[in-house]
Amino acid sequence: MDVRDLHAWPSTPAEAEAIQDRLRPMLELDVRGPAKPSTVAGLDVSYAGDGGGTGTRLAAAVVVLDGTTLQVVEESVAVGTAAFPYVPGLFAFRELPTLLKALRGLKTTPDLLVCDGFGVAHPRRFGLACHLGVLTGLPTIGVGKTAFIGAYEQPGRRRGDTTPLRDGGEVVGRVLRTRDDVKPVFVSVGHRTDLETACRNVLDLTPRYRLPETTRRADRLSRDALTG
């Protein structure tokens, strides 16, 4: 699939923040997202060792699932190294170069990308899901296991219960219960979708487990690539 080259890769945090600031106006956030996407891709990255520092070996995986059956349509993996240090708010720059290689290896262009991370629930309102959305032009959402920023109240105990995730008085995502009496996930919009649709997409992708099937399959594939 096609991915746009919109910037060079930064070598400093200041350069990375400047790229986020330049690309942020390209986001389309007031767009109705795909309610029943035919294909959904999950993206995840696994690291060798403790994952810290630059030069760490990593594997990026993209798994495309049928949006109805959740069966695997296509997989793509790329192995590389982390060329950018770990800096809160700039984590995307560690993972994106290898993730983009994996995306370019796909023959299928998915209707929706689901990232293990964040979209606008980010200090500069430009997390990994936003960055991927701008580079691919595809609807993109972030699903985090824990909150990165913001304050929230716990949602109700039942699957589908939600509460807003707020930062500085702004709603930047939702805290979504995907299983009864199980810890919630943190959903935020990345690009070309809306929060209501994003939460429905996540519920459709979690028929049995807390995390979306897209994330579960991509996580397993990336781990296997490091150990295989």
Q: Supply the pLDDT for residue 100.
A: 96
pLDDT at 49: 72
- Kindly report the CATH class assigned to 32-227: alpha beta
Strands ordered across the beta sheet of 57-66: 72-81, 57-66, 39-47, 112-115, 140-144, 185-191, 170-176, 162-167
Residue pair 59/222 in contact (Cβ under 8 Å)? The answer is yes
CA 181-129-107 angle, to 5 degrees, is 110
Bridge pairing between strands 112-115 and 140-144: parallel
Encode pLDDT of 138-172 as tens digits: 999 999 999 999 999 999 999 999 999 999 999 99
| Residue-wise pLDDT tens digits, 92-148 | 999 999 999 999 999 999 999 999 999 999 999 999 999 999 999 999 999 999 999
Show me where the domains of the chain are located: 32-227
Q: Which pair of tokens denotes residue 199? A: 């939460």
Write down the pTM of the prediction: 0.95
Q: What pLDDT, in 10s, does the model give residues 83-94? A: 899 899 999 999
pLDDT band (50, 70, 90) for residue 55: confident
